[in-house]
Structure 1
Amino acid sequence: MNRLTLLSAVCLAFVSPTVAQEDAKPKPQEPTIKAIQGTPEIDGKVDEAWKKAPRVNVNKPVEGLLAVDEDEMATATVRVLWDKDHLYALWQVKDSNLSADASDSWAQDSVEFFLDENQKRTTYYESDDAQYRVNYKGELSGQVAGFDESNLKAAARKTKTGYVVEMAIKIQGEPLTAGRKLGVELQVNDDPGSGERGAVAKWNHTDDDSWQDTSNFGTLVLQPAAE
């Protein structure tokens, strides 16, 4: 063995364990929502179509927007369905003090579904990206490049612990099919009775940037109908 070969072997002996350790580290799991195929009636009720849809929690506070105790802020569990032309979301919101007094719709007690249809994760909104909002009274609003109120249908009702919102979002691009992935974020706005937004809870990314940046959205995976 010549000196060059010996030196290479020594270097490899020192480097290889580190490389092996780095390769062995598990990759961070991508935040994912699984949506099953199904078409519910948009009436604010939990009908049969929703029964097998997995739930996700929208309960992570956005620190800079938390003006109440964390255990008092509004949170939600959400289920998502899909069919060829629509995404559907069922929000069951826990909120002890309902208010729509704020002049800004995003400051009222409401839920928001952020959608990036082509999942390009851009730091700005493209024409396929939109922010859909429904308050506890069932009033619709939204914004940014891809928003069109005619693409949103919703029903809402009060409950003993808060309110329920059921929404249908019409897809703008190619018809949906099983296996497709889309970018999403979910958010609950909370007016604790002050006429201003006192808390924001999110599903995935806890910075207040989803209204202008899709790069930190999680992933919605479309699955076949549950058996």
Structure 2
Amino acid sequence: MIPRIASSAAPKLDGKGVKVDDLGRLTGEWAEAVQNDNSGAPLLIDNLIIDVDAEAADGSPFRRWAAMHDGSYLYVLVIVDDNGDRHRDSGTSLAQDDSLELFLDGDNSKSTRYDDNDFHRLIPLQLAGKDRQAANSGDIAGPNSSRSPLGLKFTTGIGSGPKGLRRKNWEQDVYELRIDLESAGIDTNAPIGFELQVNDDDGGKNRESKWAWKHPSRADRDVDGTVSNPALMGTVVLE
């Protein structure tokens, strides 16, 4: 269940000020966001679905998300514990660079083909041609996404998040998103399709790995099904 907050408590999308306490719980403007699933497990983006040369094993806790809404907008936070090697050199092929992929199914129809309220957006971590320059533009629609207008705003923070899990002196990257509920066809108190996936590019050119929240992990081959099959999204409910 994604909790509802007052509009006055909405987070500022600036890629800064994302803090956690000694237990790893979000504090400050993201403190009210859901951070665990119904079983109490943290909301990790830890299913390794593409492994070219992944820098961590399947199930590694280096990517997580949280969310809340105010009745008009859905606010999503993604935190990535990067190893410090980030790239934005693949033009419009954002999936080959460090980036976030957002999937939404406004009515949770779980159709195997994208319809008018099934959205797929790719969000860059940094601006093209700019080293460590945070992004607030440059997102693109996925190849099968609805072409209906989606009210999406975002800002990234490169190395401006909480202290790193692996190296304490290397702060984590953050993505802060705001999604207009009406434009996405989302009603409160009703299930929606939802998925987050993270691309990791460590050497430039093509990505080394891709990680998912709900898409099942790869077994003996790479998998990337949500791009073409929205039924693979997870399900969440807005309070």
TM over 0.5: yes
* C-alpha distance 99-149 of structure 1, shift in aligned 2 (>3 A): farther
Residues 72-130 of structure 1 show CA distances to partners (whole Å, capped at 9, x for unaligned) of 79941100111222221111111111111123111110111100000000011000010
Q: Which moved more, 1:182-191 or 1:150-159?
A: 150-159
* C-alpha distance 202-43 of structure 1, shift in aligned 2 (>3 A): same
Aligned position for 1:71: 56
Q: Give the alignment partner of residue 48 of structure 1, picking from 10, 23, 28.
A: 28
Q: Report the alpha carbon displacement of residue 218 of structure 1 after superposing the two structures with TM.
A: 0.9
CA contact (8 A) 2:88 2:204 kept: no
Q: What's the % identity of the aligned pairs?
A: 25
Report the TM-score, using the length of structure 2 for normalisation.
0.71
* C-alpha distance 70-61 of structure 1, shift in aligned 2 (>3 A): farther
Q: Which is greater in Rg? A: 1
Aligned position for 1:155: 155
How far apart, in 2, do the equivalents of 1:108 and 1:175 lie? Answer: 29
* C-alpha distance 140-128 of structure 1, shift in aligned 2 (>3 A): same
Higher strand share: 1
Aligned position for 2:224: 208
Aligned residue runs from structure 1 range 70-219, under 5 A: 71=56, 75-96=62-83, 97-103=85-91, 104-137=93-126, 138=135, 139-143=138-142, 144-147=144-147, 151-159=151-159, 160-171=170-181, 172=183, 176-177=187-188, 179-206=189-216, 207-219=223-235
Report the TM-score, using the length of structure 1 for normalisation.
0.74
Q: Which amino acid aligns with 1:176?
A: D
How far apart, in 2, do the equivalents of 1:130 and 1:222 lie? Answer: 17
- What is the aligned-residue RMSD (CA, Å)? 2.3
Q: Report the alpha carbon displacement of residue 161 of structure 1 after superposing the two structures with TM.
A: 3.8
Give the count of matched residue pairs.
187
Higher helix share: 1
Question: 3-state SS of the aligned residue for 1:154?
Answer: strand
CA contact (8 A) 1:186 1:202 kept: yes
CA contact (8 A) 1:204 1:218 kept: yes
CA contact (8 A) 2:101 2:197 kept: yes
* C-alpha distance 57-140 of structure 1, shift in aligned 2 (>3 A): same
CA contact (8 A) 1:92 1:165 kept: yes
Q: Report the alpha carbon displacement of residue 132 of structure 1 after superposing the two structures with TM.
A: 1.9
Unmatched tracts of structure 1, length 5 or more? 1-33
How far apart, in 1, do the equivalents of 2:33 and 2:141 lie? Answer: 25
* C-alpha distance 145-61 of structure 1, shift in aligned 2 (>3 A): closer
How far apart, in 2, do the equivalents of 1:99 and 1:165 lie? Answer: 16
